[in-house]
Amino acid sequence: MEMVGGSADAIPGLLSYGWAGLWSTLASLLFLWSMVQDHLPFQLEEQLSALARRALAAVTPYVTITIDEHDADSFGRSEAYLAAEAYLGATFAGRASRLRAELPGGSDRVSLAVDDHVEVTDAFRGARMRWRKTRTLRRGNVIAWNPREEERRAYCLTFHRRHRALVEAAYLPHVLAEGRAATVRNRQRRLYTNNASGDWGGGDDGPRAWTHVKLEHPSTFATLAMDPDRKREVVDDLDMFRDGRDYYASVGKAWKRGYLLFGPPGTGKSTMIAAMANYLGYDIYDLELTAVKSNTELRKLFIETKSKSIIVIEDIDCSIDLTGKRKKKKKDKNDTRKKKKKAPWEEEDKDEGSKVTLSGLLNFIDGLWSACGGERIIVFTTNHKDKLDPALIRRGRMDMHIEMSYCCFQGFKVLAKNYLGVQEHDGELFGDIRRLLEEVDMTPADVAENLMPRSKTKDADACLRRLVKALEEAKEAALLAAKAKQLDGIKDDEGTDDEDDSDDDGSVTSRGHPSDGDEKSAKKEEM
């Protein structure tokens, strides 16, 4: 066979020379570009980069989506960037060649993320997705007015153009949902309290309406002293709410749930709230109504809360006066006294209390603003359910009313296991406690205090006997109180009779006849 252009023996030498020349040319071009780049105007560099990207797009079948670390109109980090970072960290932590460890503020758990310039490959419904994290430093001769402009971090998602519809419709929502779920699993849960409006100073992230600390309450439903059947109802209701996003949307309701906890002090209302937060993995916002000056501030506080949270108003019957807001004050027509005129500064300071109204609180619970964000639980606690306005606790606002009552025997068994590690007892102490709890009202807090060991030896029998003694004393005190009340009732009845007799003595009946006392005195005078 005849070869055109030279013998076949010369072809390998030409190819090796050609590749070497190509690499040498590329190296020279890169070196020249690095020298010229520092002297090019910034606008020209951007135009050249755009031309290069268009030229590359014309010959490559792949599409790249860039997710920047910061939004263009915000100083905070992009939610999409954080979701992608959490998703990649959770998905590829065991496969990536380089990882970066971070300790988020206020957290005790280290989070892992894919390191800069590391590429990982994901598979989704038969499509191949390539992720790469980039980090670009700004040029030295450009002044950065914002620290975030000194460097640019981004996640780049590259895929074949035929999968574009799949990525937009399914894959990106999947990354966002899984990233948010991973963030919730790894985050440090927090306990928030609202600041007074005068302390809402502007910070890097805007007004600080809430202050937070770590939520480290150890309460769980397993350690909650409560009737097991009632406890199971609460847990099932929480499960239904947590998994009910689509259901709430289908019935046209905001994704929220209201719980009213009522009962005597010491029955575990606050412990129940902590158990709910630990079970769901939610934050707690403890709202102090007395620090809220108006309905507008209440609305702003609600907007600042996040999803997956429990908003708590404790002792709502004692926080502010909500029962009399609907009543109009009647003016006394006979009161002609003139009001004393006050100075302007005295008029301004005459009412420093909260001006939150019942209407504002109802809108907070069940108005249009209550649908902002979704996945929120609102909890009211009270010692006196009958003092609350019926409109405040009706179904749809407070969907589930949970009575936190006195300790029952099943609740005692939970406390005995928690405090003493005792589930059953061979002696008669458990039987005595069962009988006494059926006869005496004692709160779980009092039962727990008597069960708490007073020494390191943890003498379970001594603690149980102390509880029996406390229950017997409470029983005797209740009997004495009942007898005293009965005697007071008898005295009141006798006093009423005496008053009636004294009224009859020396008095004239409606018919004008003398009373019995007058008849007796008349007979005595005749004798």
Q: Residue 180 and residue 79: Cα distance in Å, rounded?
A: 9
pLDDT at residue 185, rounded to an integer: 78
Bridge partners, residue 284, by sequence: 191, 310
In order of 37, 84, 194, the CA distances from 92 in angstroms are 36, 12, 39
The reported pTM is: 0.70
Q: Are 43 and 172 in contact (CB under 8 A)?
A: no
pLDDT at residue 3, rounded to an integer: 38
Ramachandran angles phi, psi of 442, nearest 5°: -135, 135
Per-domain residue ranges for the chain?
Answer: 43-186, 192-328+353-403, 409-526
Residue range 192-328+353-403, CATH number: 3.40.50.300
> How many whole angstroms from its chain centre is CA 461?
40
Encode 364-388: b = buried (16+ Cβ within 10 Å), e = exposed: bbbeebbeebebbbbbbbbbeeeeb
pLDDT at residue 516, rounded to an integer: 47
pLDDT at residue 10, rounded to an integer: 46
E-strand ranges in 195-313 read 202-203, 206-207, 210-214, 256-262, 283-286, 309-313
Question: Is 460 exposed, middle or buried, given 0-12, 13-18 or 19+ CB atoms closer than 10 A?
Answer: middle
Residues of the chain below pLDDT 50: 1-16, 142-145, 147-148, 204-206, 323-333, 336, 338, 344-345, 347-351, 499, 501-527
DSSP line for 449-518: HHHS-SSTT--HHHHHHHHHHHHHHHHHHHHHHHHHHHHHHHHHHHHHHHHHHHHHTT-B-TTS-B-HHH
Question: What's the chain's length in residues?
Answer: 527
pLDDT tens-place string over residues 376-399: 999 999 999 988 888 888 888 899
116-124 long-range contacts, Cβ below 8 Å, gap at least 24?
A: 116/153, 120/88, 120/92, 120/95, 120/96, 122/91, 122/92, 124/166, 124/170, 124/171, 124/174
Q: Residue 463 and residue 460: Cα distance in Å, rounded?
A: 5
Q: Are 483 and 440 in contact (CB under 8 A)?
A: no
pLDDT at residue 526, rounded to an integer: 43
